[in-house]
A and B are shown apart, each in its own frame.
Chain A
Amino acid sequence: MPRGVRWGTPERTEHYLRPRRPHLLLKVALGAGVVALLALGLLALLGRRRAVTPGHLISAHALLEARCEECHAPGQGAADVRCQRCHDAAGGGRLTMAAHVLFGSGDPRKAAASATAPCAGCHVEHRGRGARLSAVSESQCVSCHFRRFAAHPEFALLRATATEAPGLVFPHKRHLEALQKEKGLKGDAACGECHERDAAGRDFMALDFERHCASCHAASGSLGTVVPLPEEDALPPSAIQALGVEGAWLTRTAEYELGRGRVAKTALHHRDEWVLFNLRRLRRQIAPEGYGAERAALLARLGSLERRLVLSAPLAGLSAEALDARRQAIGAELRSIDARLAAIQAPATAGAATRVAEAAAAAAATGDATAAADLGRAAAVPPPAGEDPLRAEELAGRRQELLTLLEAIETTDPALAGRAEDLRRRLLALRAGEASAALLQRVRQQRATEALRVEDEQKLRAQGLPPPPEALLAGEQAAVRRALAETQARLQELSLVPAPEGALDGDARARKTESAEALAAPCAKCHPAGRVDVAPVKAARHVLVRSTFMHGPHLMQADCAHCHPAVAGSTSAADLNFTGVASCRECHGAIGASQDCLSCHAYHPHESP
C-alpha cells in the first residue's frame, strides 16, 4: 500500500508544545515606549528640545527654540504677553483684537466689548524656518467678515452721507482745464502734473505747495497782501520780538508797512508765520476755550507719548528695583481709578454744585462778571440723571461749556491752573457715546494689562531669561519720538502766544473777529477759514484708511479716468471722484487678480503714535 499525503493533522509528536510567553510583544512594545520616553526626557534635560517641539520656529525666532519658557507660560500656551514683550513693547495694545475693532469701527465701546483673539491663534509658529507668520489664513478673517470679495460692502467713505472737509478749495475741473489750456496736457499727463510718482513708482508723493502750487499761485513770490490792521490786533514784528519770539520772518521788515497805529503786510508767504502768530493770538483772545482745548489736547498727547516712550523701554532691561517701582506705580494708578469709579457710581450729592456756587461767588467778589456768570450757569445745571452716555452733539456742547468754565476758573485763580489743566485733559479724553465710567474701565483694563506684563517680566527675570533685542523696539521708539517732537513744536508755537490781559467785551470781540478775518483772507482763497481758524489741509491723502492701496501697479492696468471718471467735472475738493468697490471688482475676483483679504487689508492698525 503506497504512502499518500494524509489529510488533516499528522499524528501526535512526542515533543511537548511549549506555549508562548503571554503578552511578550506587548511587553516589548511597552519597553520600547519607556525607552523612547526616557530618551526624549534625557534630551529635554540636556536642552535638546527640538525632538519634542511640534516643529521649527521661524528663522527670526530661531534663538528662542531652546528656551520654550520665553514664549510659553506654563498652562497658558504662547501667552500674548510674551509676544507683546517684543512686538508691542510700548504696551499700546495695537496688536489686540480691540485695536482691530476700533480701527475698523472707530467705536471704543464696540472695541472694549470685542472678544479676545490670541496672537498664536492667527500667527501659527512651529511651522518651519521659512514659514511666514504674517501669512494668516483667510478663514481667520471670514470667521467674522464676509466670505467672498463679491460680498465686499461699498467703502465706508462712499457709504457715508457726509464727507470730511479736505480743508482746501480745489476744483479739479478748473485746474485740469488750465493745464490743458496752458500746457496742452490731457488725461494721465495732466493728473501727473500734481500727482507725481514716488521714487519707487509705487504711489504718489505728498502734495507740496512749493512744488505743485507755487508756480501759479505764487508766481511773483507772494500770495497777496494783508490789509492794514490795528497794531493791537496784529502785532508788528518789533512788538513780537519784544515778547521774546525769534525768527527770520521777523527780520524781513521790508515786507511790513507800519503807520498810524496800523500794520500791513505787502508780501505774503505760504504758511506765513506773522499771519499765523497773529491769528493764534487773536484766537486766544476771542475764543480762549478753543485755545485751551487745543493746548490741553496737545498736552494730553504729549503726556501719552512720553508715557509710551518710557514704556517702550524694554521691561526686561530694567533693574529689579525699577520693575518693582513700576509695578507699585501701576498699582497706585489702579487704586486711583477704582476710587474714581466708585465716586462715579456713588449717588450724586449736592456737594459739587455747592462748590461751583462758591467759585461763582468768589469770581463775583473779584469783579470778574463773565466768569461769575459762567460759573453761575454751571451751578444751575442739574447733575445728569441716569447713566446714558451723551450723544456727539450734546457732548460737544457740554464740553465747550466746561472748557469755558475751566478757562474762567483758571483766569479767576491762577493757582488752580494745574488742576484745571488736568480736568481739561480728562474732558478731552471723553468720546461721544461713551460714559466716563466706561472710559475709566477701559483705562483700568489697560493698566491691569500693564501690571500683568510687569509681573510676568519679574517672573522671567527670576528665571534668568534675557531681554528682547533693542533693535526690535527702535522702530517704535523712533515713531514715538517723531510724534513727540511734532507735538512739542506745536505746543511751542502755542506757548509763544501771549495770554490775554482780560476778558473781551462784545465790541472788542467783534472788532478782533473782523481783524482775524482780514488777516486770514488771503489764506481763505484756498483754505476754508473759520472766524479765527484756518482748517488743516487733508487733501490728497489716502482716504481708504483701512486698506493699503498702491496707485503704481494699478496704473499699469488702467488710466486715471477709468477709476476716477468724475474728476474732470469735479468742482469741489470734497468730491471723492472714484467709483468705489465696483471698480475693484472689475479685476479682483475669483478669476483674475487676487481677492484675498490681505491683498488690501491689514489686521493690525499701522503704528501711529
Chain B
Amino acid sequence: MRLGRALRPKEPRHFLVATAAGALVVLTFVVASWLRPWSPKRGLGLFFGIAAALAFVLEMAYPLRRPKGRFFGTAKAWLQIHVYVGSVAFVGVLAHAGFRWPGGAMGWGLLLLSAWVCGSGLVGVLLQKWLPAALAEGLRVEALYERIPSLVDGLTREADALMADTSEALERFYADEVRPRLSRPTPSWTYLLDVRADRERSLGPFERMARFVEPEEQARVADLMSLFTEKLELDAHYTVQGLLRRWLIVHVPPAGLLMALLVVHVVTWMRY
C-alpha cells in the first residue's frame, strides 16, 4: 500500500510526458534502424548521443536550484526535470548505443555509470517518497537528523536522573540493559522495513521488571520505558534519515565520474 503510494508519480502529467518521450526514442530507434543501418556516429544515433550528453550536463546543474530555483522557478520544478530528463536521457544513451552491449572499457564504463546514476537516482526518489511517510505514520516523535545525537544525550541525562536513588535491582537493570542502549543513537537496517521494528521485544524486559519492583517504583519503570521508547523512535529516525541523506553518496560522485568519461568520450569522438 505504502509502496504503491511511493510509486505513484507526484506529477502524473510529467510522468506521462517522460514516458511518451522515452517510448518515442525507442520507437524512433526501431523504425530508423529498420530503414537504415544504425550507427552511434551518424544520423539519429549521433543525435541521441548528443541529446543525452546535454541532458546529463543539465542534470549536473541540479544544485543550482537553490537558493533561488534558477531557470525553472522552483526547487520542485527542478527536481521534476532532474528526475524525468535523467530517465529519458538514459533511454537516449541506450538508443545511441543501438541497444547493444558496448565493446570496450570506455563503452562499458559509460553504460554502467549511466545505468548506476539513473538507477540510484530513481531509488532515491522512491526512498524520498516512501520513508518520510513511513516515519510520519509509524512514529510519534519528530526530529531533525542533526539534532538526534543531542536529543539522545538529553534522554540519557533524563534517564540517569530518573534512576538515581532506586532499588538495587532496578539500578542494575538500568545500568546493564538500558543505559548502554540509551547512551548513543543505534541505527539498524530493520527500521527500513518497519520503523516500529523490534519494539515489543525491546520493551518486554521493562514489563517483566515492572512486576518485580516495589509498587512505588513501577512508575519509574514506566517512565524509563517511555524514555526508551522515545530513544527507539529516535533510532528509527536516525537510521531512515541517515539513509535519506547518504544515498546521495552512491548517486552524486558516480555522476561526477560519468561526466569525466563523457568528456573523454566526446573529445575522442571529435578528435578521432
Q: Say whether B166 faces chain A, with CB atoms less than 8 Å apart.
A: no
Interface residues in A4-31 (C-beta closer than 8 Å to B) = 4-10, 13-15, 17-18, 23, 25-26, 28-31
- What chain B residues lie within 8 Å of A131 (beta carbons)? 103
Partner of A53, one of B35, B104, B256, B260: B104
B260 and A52 contact, CB distance less than 8 A: no
Q: Say whether B140 faces chain A, with CB atoms less than 8 Å apart.
A: yes
Among A25, A68, A75, the one with the most B-chain Cβ atoms within 10 Å of its Cβ is A25
- What chain B residues lie within 8 Å of A220 (beta carbons)? none
| Segment of B1-9, B85-93, B177-185, B262-270 in the binding face | B262-270
Q: Say whether B112 faces chain A, with CB atoms less than 8 Å apart.
A: no
Residue of B nearest to A28 (CB): B253
A34 and B146 contact, CB distance less than 8 A: no
Q: Say whether B186 faces chain A, with CB atoms less than 8 Å apart.
A: no
Measured CB to CB, the closest approach of chain B to A69, in angstroms, equals: 9
Q: Say whether A418 faces chain B, with CB atoms less than 8 Å apart.
A: no
B103 and A9 contact, CB distance less than 8 A: no
Q: Say whether B259 faces chain A, with CB atoms less than 8 Å apart.
A: yes
- What chain B residues lie within 8 Å of A3 (beta carbons)? 222-223, 226-227
A5 and B140 contact, CB distance less than 8 A: yes
| Segment of B13-21, B37-45, B120-128 in the binding face | B37-45
- What chain B residues lie within 8 Å of A31 (beta carbons)? 256
CA–CA, A2 to B227, complex, Å? 11
CA–CA, A128 to B105, complex, Å? 11
Residue of B nearest to A38 (CB): B260
Q: Say whether A127 faces chain B, with CB atoms less than 8 Å apart.
A: yes
B37 and A18 contact, CB distance less than 8 A: no
CA–CA, A15 to B154, complex, Å? 11
| Segment of A135-143, A462-470, A502-510 in the binding face | A135-143
Q: Say whether A36 faces chain B, with CB atoms less than 8 Å apart.
A: yes
- What chain B residues lie within 8 Å of A77 (beta carbons)? 41, 272
A121 and B39 contact, CB distance less than 8 A: yes
Residue of B nearest to A39 (CB): B260
Contact string against B for A residues 193-211, beta-carbon threshold 8 Å, 1 for contact and 0 otherwise: 0000000000000000000
CA–CA, A137 to B260, complex, Å? 32
B264 and A52 contact, CB distance less than 8 A: yes
Interface residues in B208-260 (C-beta closer than 8 Å to A) = 219, 222-223, 226-227, 229-230, 233, 248-249, 252-257, 259-260
- What chain A residues lie within 8 Å of B37 (beta carbons)? 121-122, 137, 139-140, 143
Interface residues in B13-59 (C-beta closer than 8 Å to A) = 33-39, 41-42
Residue of A nearest to B245 (CB): A20
- What chain A residues lie within 8 Å of B68 (beta carbons)? none
Partner of B260, one of A37, A54, A128: A37
CA–CA, A9 to B144, complex, Å? 8
From known contacts A72-B272, A77-B41, A139-B37, infer whether A10 and B256 are also in contact, taking CB-CB under 8 Å.
no
Measured CB to CB, the closest approach of chain A to B31, in angstroms, equals: 12
From known contacts A5-B229, A6-B230, infer whether A51 and B106 are also in contact, taking CB-CB under 8 Å.
yes
Among A2, A14, A31, the one with the most B-chain Cβ atoms within 10 Å of its Cβ is A2
Q: Say whether B261 faces chain A, with CB atoms less than 8 Å apart.
A: yes
- What chain B residues lie within 8 Å of A18 (beta carbons)? 146
B151 and A32 contact, CB distance less than 8 A: no
Q: Say whether B201 faces chain A, with CB atoms less than 8 Å apart.
A: no
CA–CA, A51 to B151, complex, Å? 50
Residue of B nearest to A14 (CB): B150
Q: Say whether A56 faces chain B, with CB atoms less than 8 Å apart.
A: yes
A10 and B249 contact, CB distance less than 8 A: no
Q: Say whether A521 faces chain B, with CB atoms less than 8 Å apart.
A: no
A30 and B35 contact, CB distance less than 8 A: no
From known contacts A53-B104, A53-B106, A126-B103, infer whether A25 and B248 are also in contact, taking CB-CB under 8 Å.
yes
Contact string against B for A residues 518-543, beta-carbon threshold 8 Å, 1 for contact and 0 otherwise: 00000000000000000000000000
A40 and B264 contact, CB distance less than 8 A: yes
Partner of A54, one of B103, B147, B154: B103
- What chain B residues lie within 8 Å of A551 (beta carbons)? none
Q: On chain B, which size bracket covers the interface?
A: 35 or more
From known contacts A10-B154, A52-B268, infer whether A5 and B103 are also in contact, taking CB-CB under 8 Å.
no
Interface residues in B136-150 (C-beta closer than 8 Å to A) = 140-144, 146-147, 150
CA–CA, A423 to B188, complex, Å? 96
Q: Say whether A244 faces chain B, with CB atoms less than 8 Å apart.
A: no
Q: Work out how many contacts link A and B, with CB atoms closer than 8 A.
A: 138
Q: Say whether B102 faces chain A, with CB atoms less than 8 Å apart.
A: yes
CA–CA, A102 to B32, complex, Å? 28
Among B37, B146, B230, the one with the most A-chain Cβ atoms within 10 Å of its Cβ is B37
B106 and A30 contact, CB distance less than 8 A: no
A32 and B264 contact, CB distance less than 8 A: no
Measured CB to CB, the closest approach of chain A to B244, in angstroms, equals: 13
A127 and B256 contact, CB distance less than 8 A: no
CA–CA, A17 to B143, complex, Å? 13
Measured CB to CB, the closest approach of chain A to B28, in angstroms, equals: 15
B260 and A5 contact, CB distance less than 8 A: no
Residue of A nearest to B228 (CB): A5
- What chain A residues lie within 8 Å of B253 (beta carbons)? 25, 28-29, 32
Interface residues in A65-101 (C-beta closer than 8 Å to B) = 68, 72, 74-75, 77-78
CA–CA, A36 to B254, complex, Å? 11
Residue of A nearest to B149 (CB): A15
Contact string against B for A residues 421-439, beta-carbon threshold 8 Å, 1 for contact and 0 otherwise: 0000000000000000000
Among A4, A28, A32, the one with the most B-chain Cβ atoms within 10 Å of its Cβ is A32
B271 and A74 contact, CB distance less than 8 A: yes
Partner of A6, one of B102, B103, B140: B140
B222 and A2 contact, CB distance less than 8 A: yes
From known contacts A2-B223, A54-B107, A140-B37, infer whether A8 and B142 are also in contact, taking CB-CB under 8 Å.
yes
Q: Say whether B205 faces chain A, with CB atoms less than 8 Å apart.
A: no
CA–CA, A33 to B35, complex, Å? 39
A6 and B257 contact, CB distance less than 8 A: no
From known contacts A2-B222, A32-B257, A75-B270, infer whether A52 and B106 are also in contact, taking CB-CB under 8 Å.
yes
From known contacts A52-B268, A55-B107, infer whether A13 and B147 are also in contact, taking CB-CB under 8 Å.
yes
Contact string against A for B residues 148-171, beta-carbon threshold 8 Å, 1 for contact and 0 otherwise: 001100100000000000000000
Residue of A nearest to B103 (CB): A55
CA–CA, A15 to B148, complex, Å? 11
Q: Say whether A50 faces chain B, with CB atoms less than 8 Å apart.
A: yes
A128 and B103 contact, CB distance less than 8 A: yes
- What chain A residues lie within 8 Å of B106 (beta carbons)? 51-55
Residue of A nearest to B144 (CB): A17
Among B150, B229, B256, the one with the most A-chain Cβ atoms within 10 Å of its Cβ is B256
Q: Say whether B132 faces chain A, with CB atoms less than 8 Å apart.
A: no
A33 and B256 contact, CB distance less than 8 A: yes
A23 and B142 contact, CB distance less than 8 A: no
B140 and A7 contact, CB distance less than 8 A: yes
Partner of A4, one of B226, B256, B271, B272: B226
CA–CA, A121 to B257, complex, Å? 30
Measured CB to CB, the closest approach of chain A to B163, in angstroms, equals: 13
- What chain B residues lie within 8 Å of A28 (beta carbons)? 252-253, 256
A-B contact pairs, 18 of them (CB 8 A): A9-B143, A13-B147, A18-B146, A26-B63, A29-B256, A30-B256, A33-B263, A34-B260, A36-B256, A36-B260, A37-B260, A54-B102, A54-B104, A55-B105, A74-B272, A75-B271, A131-B103, A139-B34
Question: Lowest 3 CB-CB distances: which A-B pairs, in order?
Answer: A55-B103, A29-B256, A55-B104
Q: 20 extra interchain contacts, Cβ-Cβ under 8 A, other than A29-B257, A37-B260, A139-B36?
A: A3-B226, A5-B226, A8-B142, A13-B147, A13-B151, A25-B252, A26-B256, A28-B252, A28-B256, A29-B252, A29-B254, A29-B255, A33-B263, A36-B256, A37-B264, A52-B268, A53-B268, A75-B270, A121-B42, A127-B103
Binding site for A on B (CB under 8 A): 33-39, 41-42, 63, 102-107, 140-144, 146-147, 150-151, 154, 219, 222-223, 226-227, 229-230, 233, 248-249, 252-257, 259-261, 263-264, 268, 270-272
